A and B are shown apart, each in its own frame.
Chain A
Amino acid sequence: MTHTLLVTGAGGVGKTTVAAAVAVTAARSGIRTLVVTVDPARRLASALGLDELGSEPQPHRDEPLLWAAMLDSGATWRAVATRHADPGVADRLASNEFFQAAAEHFPASQSYAAADQAATFALAGAWDLVVIDTPPAGGGIDFFTAPAQMADLVGGRLLRWITGGPLPGRRFFYNRAARPMLRVADTILGSDLLERIAEFLLDLRTTYDGVARRGREIEGVLRGSHIVVVTTSDPAPVAEAVRFYRELPGVASTPEAVVFNRVLPDEWVDPPITEGISAQLARCAHLWGMETLRQQDTRAEFSARHGATVATIPWSPDPPNDLDGLAALLDRSSGFPWGRFGMEQTK
């Protein structure tokens, strides 16, 4: 059975690094693991063997049980067209200016692409563990709602109303009931634009059945996945993590743990500031002592308010840039819920 682990959290908290570290640790403990990342920093991509960008999983040259893949949202949108539309329509869609705009602008599009890939890999049966670094769009929650949003985009009731049901041929006819609305829109937008968009929407609508069916598959995978929320102790990402704990149970499942990254050691709360040390050193100790206290306070409050399992990854001076560095990151972590996704050992 394939376990799927979704690593979520705000941007900039080290989510990609944590996802990679989990994958390396899992692979080294004998589990066939695929990690799918979004936009990794160059050093990290290269550590994972992703020098050549590709959305196809590539086996790692030094780590026999590790595969890695990179997310490519543009390609996945084209795949939606190819998979769910007639060949002629798919070509027209792929070269349509609005299709490209929608792929870029539809806020959930990158998330949909990621969720679609996650589902493909989870259902492939080729790995024991698939680790997904989720994209930050829409505060990250989009990843979980994107399949429904996508189905709504291509086949929503409104669209059916505007376009007046299935039509033979290419020519666009307005639904009679929609005419007053379209006159309004014409005044504001110019009629040419509206007609061009409507033609695009008609094409897009032909993909509806396929997209809706696929959406249900994706949602099934997401609901059966494990989730960890990564954050630092800074207020902004913590607020995001709180949102995940509030909203994810409704759209997917309750997160298994909140992972605080870059945690300072507990003993720093009360540093040995003695008479003899320099004023600069005393100030340094005082500042970081306060910061350590604030971090502890943040974790305790999170755990108490949301009943969350709290895992910590200590701060480290150098970002990991190879497999050993990634594995070492989790060696020093505590509270990580390994057992829940197929790894027996507890760190």
Chain B
Amino acid sequence: MLDRRLVMVSGKGGVGKSALSAGLAILAQRTGRRVLAVDMVSQGGLSSHFGTGQLTFQPREIKPGLHAMRVVRAEALLEYLSLQLRLPGVGRFGAVARAFDALATAAPAVREIITIGKILWEVREERWDLVVVDGPPTGQLGSYLRAPVSIEELVPTGRIGTQAEWMRATLADPKTTSLVVATLPEELPSTETLETLAWLEREQVAPDPVVVANRVLPDLGRLESDDPILGAMADLHRSLWAEQQHWLERVSPSVRIPFLFGLFTPGEVAAQMSDELEAAL
């Protein structure tokens, strides 16, 4: 996974997508790679796991070799327009960009292509060995991954249409891109994960995803006690564990991250997560 150029992490909200992204970025940095971590849809989770405060569009070095940024669509659009039009003085295009953004609201896939385009642009540049993306929740994943295809269908002639072609190829190339779908071994996230996997299988817009199950409880065997408190704790553990087994069988994740007990801050979670990933990968 870490030997690709782009790792995009998706998953239902609340499954630990940002912690996983932060953990992957830290692990890649620790193993000597030049890493860019990206908060793709401004969810903010990545910044709290890095303990950096609000990330900016301009990548900022938060550890030696690890930069972090967040995609701000208006800024990505301005950057795109100034590159495309090869003109200095981006400020002049402020009005153009705002108007374009308003139009883009109504056009399918235009908004998404601006965001995903910015990320693929960073992947194409040689500045980074690896770009780790805290991606959209699975509910929106499809519209982002399919954006290049939609754009090619919608505007085959415009300049954006031509660029959509290399974006589609880059996203779908298993040597370049790795897609991670994070989940919890519980009903709602697992059901959504299975739906996402079926969609990905059908659409073939990204390489086969790596499914990562988070917060997997340890098997503690039979666990019985006459003590009311210990008995209740054993009941809780057994019942959660049994339910987890049911969903783990259905989803069959390739990576399992243990439940991290006793961690109080997002920073601690991210550090521990990178250790767990190192052990698992």
Enumerate chain A interface residues (CB-CB to B < 8 A): 10-13, 41, 97-98, 101-102, 104-106, 136, 139, 153, 156, 158-159, 161-162, 178, 180-181, 184-190, 192-194, 197-198, 200-201, 204, 234-237, 239, 264-265, 267-268, 271-273, 277-278, 280-281, 283-285, 287-291, 293-294, 297, 315, 317, 319
Contacts and interface: CB of A to CB of B under 8 A. Distances in A.
Contacts of A153: 105
Nearest to A178: B99
B13 A283 contact: no
Contacts of B137: 11
A277 B160 CA distance: 67
Given A153-B105, A272-B230, A281-B230, A12 B111 contact: no
Contacts of B155: 189-190, 192-193
Contacts of B100: 181, 184-185
Contacts of A268: 229, 232-233
Given A158-B99, A190-B161, A197-B103, A294 B223 contact: no
Given A12-B189, A187-B159, A277 B108 contact: no
Contacts of B221: 280
B220 A283 contact: yes
B96 interface: yes
Interface of B: 12-16, 18-19, 43-45, 48, 81, 84-85, 93, 95-96, 98-100, 102-103, 105-108, 110-112, 137, 143, 154-161, 187-189, 218, 220-225, 227, 229-230, 232-237, 239, 259, 261-266, 269
Contacts of A194: 103
A235 B272 CA distance: 14
Contacts of B44: 239
10 contacts: A11-B12, A13-B14, A105-B105, A190-B155, A193-B154, A236-B45, A281-B225, A281-B230, A289-B233, A294-B264
B230 A294 contact: no
Contacts, number: 172
Given A190-B157, A280-B220, 6 more contacts: A101-B108, A105-B112, A180-B96, A188-B84, A193-B154, A264-B236
B102 A285 contact: no
A102 B104 CA distance: 10
B48 A239 contact: yes
A138 B65 CA distance: 31
B230 A285 contact: yes
A315 B230 contact: no
Secondary structure at the A interface, as helix, strand, loop or mixed, is: helix
Nearest to B81: A184
Contacts of B229: 267-268, 271-272, 285
Nearest to B156: A190
Contacts of A271: 229-230, 233
A117 to B, nearest CB: 20
A280 B110 contact: no
B261 A162 contact: no
Given A12-B189, A294-B264, A158 B102 contact: yes
Contacts of A159: 102
A105 B143 contact: yes
A294 B236 contact: no
A284 B187 CA distance: 23
Given A291-B262, A294-B264, A98 B108 contact: yes
A265 B188 contact: no
B262 A294 contact: yes
B106 A101 contact: yes
A105 B147 CA distance: 12
Q: Among the interface residues B102, B110, B137, which one has the most CB atoms of the partner chain A within 10 A?
A: B102
A235 to B, nearest CB: 5
Contacts of A297: 264
A5 B200 CA distance: 38
A239 B45 contact: yes
A130 B48 CA distance: 35
A200 B45 contact: no
A277 B223 CA distance: 10
B53 to A, nearest CB: 13
A10 B197 CA distance: 23
Contacts of A285: 229-230, 233
A267 B98 CA distance: 57
A272 B225 CA distance: 11
Contacts of A105: 105, 108, 111-112, 143
A186 B110 CA distance: 14
Given A184-B85, A189-B155, A281 B223 contact: yes
